[in-house]
Amino acid sequence: MGKENFIEIYVDGCCLGNPGPGGWACIIKKNNEEIILTDGEPFTTNNQMELKAVISALSYFKEPRKIKIYTDSEYVLKGITQWLVSWKKRGFKTSQGKPVKNKELWETLEKLTNFHQVKFIKVSAHSGNFYNEKADRIAKKSAKKWKKKF
């Protein structure tokens, strides 16, 4: 991981109903190309889709990389940069003593952020950021496909 530039990745997740059919998308910007990953589930939550977008993006790389993740999800951003340390100290319990939702996804995300050098950057949702808007459209399209399947 010498002097390589950071790979930029835009992620988004959505749900048609919460819970309901959901979709996620990530746009990986690497060497002047765009790699788009997307999928979804028939019955999920918005937060799960947001997490799966990040996990899928980071899992794409099999060797450690320097990565910037752009997300509009406060849940993902604060979860990985602030809350996770406290959750772990409390045995994956919230400050109210309740089990942390999506524990397995958080554990997977933590492993991936330890494997790569990851910087999380907050993007305002629906603010005209080209790649954030594109990831949002792709995630919604994926969610709609799941809605039609079931």
Just list the catalytic residues.
12-13, 50, 72, 126, 136
Burial class (CB in 10 A: 0-12, 13-18, 19+), 82: exposed
Q: Which two tokens stand for residue 61?
A: 């790389």
11: helix, strand or coil: strand
- Helix, strand, coil in percent for the chain, rounding step 5: 40, 30, 25
Residue 129 sits at φ, ψ, to 5 deg, of -70, 120
* DSSP characters over 24-71: EEEEEEETTEEEEEEEEEEEE-HHHHHHHHHHHHHHT-SS--EEEEEE
Beta-bridge partner residues of 7: 67
